[in-house]
C-alpha cells in the first residue's frame, strides 16, 4: 500500500522507501555457529554433520539456509565501541522507525524468506534494509500502533545475493487491557531421529504421498533460550523469564528465526539432504512457550517443474499446540528429478525460486 493510499501524514510517509545500507556485519560464518544452530533445532541432516555428504552435494560446508538472519545480528559487545554509545542493532531500520514513530514495542507478524546462494564458512554478509510499507494507525489486543514491512537483501563479499527476507511487523504502544504477546518479536525435545532412508526414496523417485510425518517436540526453557542463542537474538522476551512476566505477563517464547529453523528441519527430515529450500513464508498466530508440546504437520500442495528444469514441491506446514495452530507456513523446496540431479548445484540464472510464482498459504 502506498503512503497516500494508507492516509499517512507527511512525517510518516517520508519513511516509505527509506533504505539503510547497513554494510557488512561483524559475524563471519563458521562451523561453530552452524553446529550450534543444528543442535538448537535437533537437526540430524548429514549436510551439516558429514563432510563427505557436504562435498558431494554442496562442494563443501554450507550454513542451513534458515540461518540467513544470523549474519545480520551484530556483536553485543565490542571494545572499539565507547561506553555509552549505542551499537548498531539487528534490523536497525526497524528500531529507527520505532523511535521515529514513538512506538516502543514491536512484534513480527509474518516472515518471508527467499533463499539464493548458500552461505559458507568465511563469508561475511552485508544487508540493505528498506521500509516498503507503513499502515495507518491500528488497534488490536496488543495496543495501538502501525504495521510496516521491511525488505532485507543479504549479499556476500563476492557480490552474490544470499537471500531476500521480508519482515511484516507491528510497532505499538500497549493499551490498558493489553495482555501477553500474540506473536514473536523481535530437557531436549522428544523428536526422534529423521528417517533419511525414506527421504532418499522421495529424492530419487519424486513419488511422495500427500502428507509429511508428524513431528512432536516438547518445548522447555532450554529450547527457547538455545534458539535465541543460536540465532543471536538477545531480545529479553526470548531468554529472561522475570522480564517477560513483568513486562508482558507471559513466559519467554520462541523467536522468529528459530521457528524458521524448526520448519526447515521438519521439511528436510522428509526430503533428506538433497532437498533445497527455495522459499518460505510463515505467519505466527500465537506464542510457543516452555511447557508446550509443539506438533508439526505438513502436506504437499503442489508440484511443478520450471522453465529451467528445476523441480519444485510446495508444502503447507503447521505448528500446533493442543490442536491450536500457532504458526502456519508455506514452503517451496527443490527436489532432485532423478538420481543424477542435484538442486544444490544450481546457481545464478539456473536457480530461480521466485520465478515459480507465489506460494499459496
Q: What is the dihedral of CA 46, 52, 53, 59, to 10 degrees?
A: 130
User: What digits encode the pLDDT tens for the residues 137-171?
Assistant: 999 988 999 999 999 999 999 999 999 999 999 99
Neighbours of 295 (CB within 10 A): 17
The overall longest dimension of the chain from CA atoms, in Å, is 61
Per-residue pLDDT of the chain (361 residues; tens, 9 = 90+): 455 545 688 889 999 999 999 999 889 999 999 999 999 999 999 999 999 999 999 999 999 999 999 999 988 888 887 776 666 788 999 999 999 999 999 989 999 999 999 999 999 999 999 999 999 999 998 899 999 999 999 999 999 999 999 999 999 998 765 554 444 544 223 333 333 333 333 333 344 457 999 999 999 999 999 999 999 999 899 999 999 999 888 999 999 999 999 999 999 999 999 999 999 999 999 999 999 999 999 999 999 999 999 999 999 999 999 999 999 999 999 999 999 999 999 999 999 998 655 666 5
Burial of 109 (0-12, 13-18, 19+ CB in 10 A): middle
Pairing of strands 311-321, 324-334: antiparallel
3-state helix, strand, coil in the chain (%, to 5): 25, 30, 45
The SS3 of residue 187 is: coil
CA angle 172, 178, 180 (to 5 degrees): 95
Predicted confidence at residue 186, as pLDDT, reads: 43
For 177, how many CA atoms within 13 A lie in the half-sphere containing its CB? 4
Residues belonging to the chain: 361
Predicted confidence at residue 178, as pLDDT, reads: 54
Predicted confidence at residue 3, as pLDDT, reads: 52
Q: What is the DSSP letter of 74?
A: P
Instruction: Give the DSSP H or E segment for 260.
Output: helix 256-271
Question: Which residues does 245 contact at the CB level (< 8 Å), separation at least 6?
Answer: 251
Task: Tell me the pTM.
Answer: 0.88
Angle, to 10 degrees, between the axis of helix 221-230 and the axis of helix 256-271?
A: 90
- Integer angstrom CA distances of residue 302 from 53, 277, 330, 356, 360: 28, 15, 11, 11, 9
Predicted confidence at residue 86, as pLDDT, reads: 65
Neighbours of 121 (CB within 10 A): 15
The three three-digit cell numbers of residue 290, written as one number:
516452555
Query: Is the four-CA dihedral 24, 354, 196, 223 of positive or negative sign?
Result: positive
Amino acid at each position: 500500500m502506498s503512503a497516500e493510499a494508507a492516509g499517512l501524514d507527511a512525517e510518516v510517509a517520508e519513511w516509505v522507501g527509506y533504505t539503510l545500507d547497513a554494510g557488512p556485519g561483524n559475524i563471519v560464518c563458521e562451523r561453530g555457529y552452524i553446529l550450534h544452530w543444528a543442535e538448537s533445532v535437533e537437526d540430524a541432516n548429514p549436510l551439516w554433520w558429514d563432510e563427505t555428504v557436504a562435498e558431494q552435494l554442496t562442494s563443501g560446508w554450507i550454513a542451513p539456509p534458515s540461518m540467513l538472519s544470523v549474519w545480520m545480528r551484530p556483536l553485543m559487545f565490542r571494545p572499539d565501541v565507547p561506553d555509552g554509545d549505542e551499537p548498531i542493532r539487528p534490523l536497525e531500520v526497524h528500531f529507527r522507525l520505532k523511535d521515529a514513530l514513538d512506538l516502543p514495542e514491536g512484534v513480527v507478524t509474518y516472515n518471508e524468506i527467499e533463499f539464493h546462494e548458500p552461505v559458507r564458512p568465511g563469508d561475511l554478509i552485508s544487508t540493505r534494509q528498506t521500509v516498503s510499507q507503513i499502515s495507518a494507525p491500528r488497534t488490536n489486543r496488543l495496543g495501538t500502533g502501525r504495521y510496516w514491512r521491511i525488505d532485507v537483501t543479504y549479499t556476500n563479499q563476492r557480490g552474490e545475493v544470499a537471500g531476500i527476507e521480508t519482515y511484516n511487523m507491528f510497532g505499538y504502544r500497549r493499551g490498558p487491557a493489553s495482555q501477553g504477546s500474540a506473536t514473536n518479536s523481535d530437557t531436549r525435545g522428544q523428536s526422534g531421529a529423521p528417517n533419511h532412508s525414506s527421504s532418499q526414496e522421495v529424492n530419487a523417485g519424486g513419488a511422495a504421498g500427500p502428507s509429511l510425518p508428524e513431528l512432536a517436540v516438547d518445548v522447555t526453557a532450554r529450547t527457547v533460550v538455545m534458539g535465541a542463542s543460536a540465532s543471536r537474538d538477545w531480545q529479553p522476551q526470548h531468554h529472561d523469564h522475570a522480564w517477560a512476566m513483568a513486562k508482558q505477563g507471559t513466559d519467554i517464547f520462541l523467536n522468529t528465526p528459530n521457528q524458521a529453523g524448526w520448519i526447515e528441519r521438519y521439511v528436510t527430515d522428509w526430503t533428506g539432504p538433497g532437498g533445497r529450500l527455495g522459499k518460505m513464508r510463515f505467519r505466527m498466530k500465537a506464542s510457543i512457550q516452555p511447557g508446550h508440546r509443539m506438533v508439526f504437520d505438513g502436506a504437499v500442495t503442489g508440484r511443478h517443474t520450471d522453465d529451467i528444469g528445476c523441480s519444485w514441491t510446495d508444502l503447507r506446514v503447521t505448528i500446533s499446540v493442543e490442536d491450536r495452530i500457532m504458526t502456519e507456513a508455506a514452503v517451496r523446496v527443490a527436489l532432485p528429478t532423478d538420481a543424477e540431479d542435484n538442486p544444490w548445484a544450481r546457481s545464478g540464472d539456473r536457480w530461480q525460486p521466485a520465478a515459480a510464482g507465489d506460494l499459496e498459504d
